[in-house]
Amino acid sequence: MRRWDVPGRVNLIGEHLDYNGGPVLPVAIDRSVTIKARARDDAMVNVWSDLSGAAKVSFATTVQPGDVDGWASYVAGTIWSLAERGHSIPGADLVIESRLPPNAGLSSSAATTCGVASALDDLFGLGLDRTAVALVAQHAESGFVGAPVGLMDQLAVLNGTAGNAVLIDTAVTPHTTSSVALGWEADGLVLAVIATGAHHSLADGEYAARREECERAAAELGLEWLAQAGLDATVRLEDETLKARTRHVLTETARVRGAVNAIARRAWPQLGTILTASHASLRDDFQVSCPELDVAVEAALEAGALGARMTGAGFGGSAIALVAPEQVQPLRERVEARYAAHQWSRPEVFVVHAADGAHRVPN
C-alpha cells in the first residue's frame, strides 16, 4: 500500500487574489492529510476516512458529478477529473486520515484531492507533474464538487518547502511559483492559527458570488484580471459593491508585495501591520469575514500579536496571528474567554510551521 502525506496551508497574505490575477503568499503547514492507496482491478473505488467515522464509501471508476456527495465527493471528483483528462484507473482502495481541524479553512479539500491524485499517479504510473496534479485537483472541486476555486491551495500544498512560503503569480498560465524564506522563528516569533469552529464552505454560493462580482468589475474596466486595475479603477466604476471589491483587490495586491519586502528585511512589526490591514479590507470591502473571525483577530491583537487576520476564503474557518511564543497561551485564554462570553463553541489555537509539500512516505 502506497502512502502519501499532504500538508494543509494557511494563506499568509493575498486573499481572493488567486482568481483575480494577483500574487498570493501561502504557507504549507505541518498539519496534514495522509492518503493510503492500494490498486484494484474491478473498476471500483473503496474509500475509508476518519472524517466519516471510518465508514466505507464505494463507487465505480466511471463516477459522474451527482453520484457521490459529502466528504467522499472530493475523492470521487478526483477519480472523475483524472478520467476527464484521459487517465482512467482500474480501481483502488483508499484510506484517508486527517490531522487538520474540520471546517477550518486550512485546505483539507486541496490536500485530499492533491493527495488522491498524487497517490494514484504513483500507483499507476500516470506521469503527472505537480502542475498537472494541481489542475486535476482544481477540476475535481470546480467541476464535480461545485466550488469554483482557484489554483492557490493546490499549488501551495504541492510546492511548499520547510521554512518557506510559496509566492505564486496567478496572472500567468501556468502559474509560476517561487520560495520566500521565512525568518520569523529565528527572530523569536511564531505563527499561530485560531480555528474558530465556525462553518466554512466554498460551495454555498458566497465564494462564487464574490468571484462573479470581480469578473464583472474586470469586464467593466476592460481588463483580463482585476488585479491589473489602476488606481483610478474605483472612480471609473459606478456600482458601490464593485468599487469595494476592486478596492480590496488593489490594496491586497499591494499588501502582498509589501509583505514580501517586509519578510526580506525581517521587518516583523511592518508585516504585522500588513496582516491586520488585510483583515480590515476583507471585513469591510470584500465582506467575507464573520463575527467569530473578527473576535479572534481582536483578541489576538489584544494579547500582543504583531498582526492578525482571517485566512482562507472566509465565512468562517481560521485566523492567523504573528506572536512571540510566550504570547500563545495568553492569546488562547483571551480568545476562549471572548468566545465563551458569546456562547460560541471553544476555538482551537495552535502554532504551525512551514512544511514540505505533498510527498510519498517510505514504507
If one counts every other C-beta atom within 10 angstroms of the C-beta of residue 20, the result is 30
* Three-class secondary structure of residue 11 per DSSP: strand
| Pair 9, 120: CB distance under 8 Å | no
Active site includes 69? Answer: no
Q: How far apart are CA 344 and CA 350, in angstroms?
A: 18
Find the Cα–Cα–Cα–Cα dihedral 285, 291, 295, 296, rounded to 10°: -90
Who contacts 16 (Cβ-Cβ below 8 Å, separation ≥6)?
210, 214, 248, 249, 252, 282, 286, 288, 313
- One-letter amino acid of 163: G
How far CA 242 is from CA of 21, 212, 233, 286, in Å, comes to 17, 10, 10, 9
| Pair 198, 316: CB distance under 8 Å | yes
Grid cell in block for residue 46: 473503496
Grid cell in block for residue 27: 504557507
Distance of CA 348 to the CA centre of its chain: 18
Q: How far apart are CA 59 and CA 345, in angstroms?
A: 35
Grid cell in block for residue 16: 481572493
From the DSSP assignment, how many helices (H) and strands (E) are in the chain? 10, 12
Q: Detail the DSSP E strand segments found in 216-342.
A: 307-311, 318-323
- Catalytic residue (choose from 5, 18, 121, 153): 153
Helix (H) or strand (E) holding 25: strand 23-39
**φ, ψ of residue 143 in degrees (nearest 5):** -85, -25
* CA contacts within 13 A on the Cβ side of 126: 23
Active site positions, annotated = 153
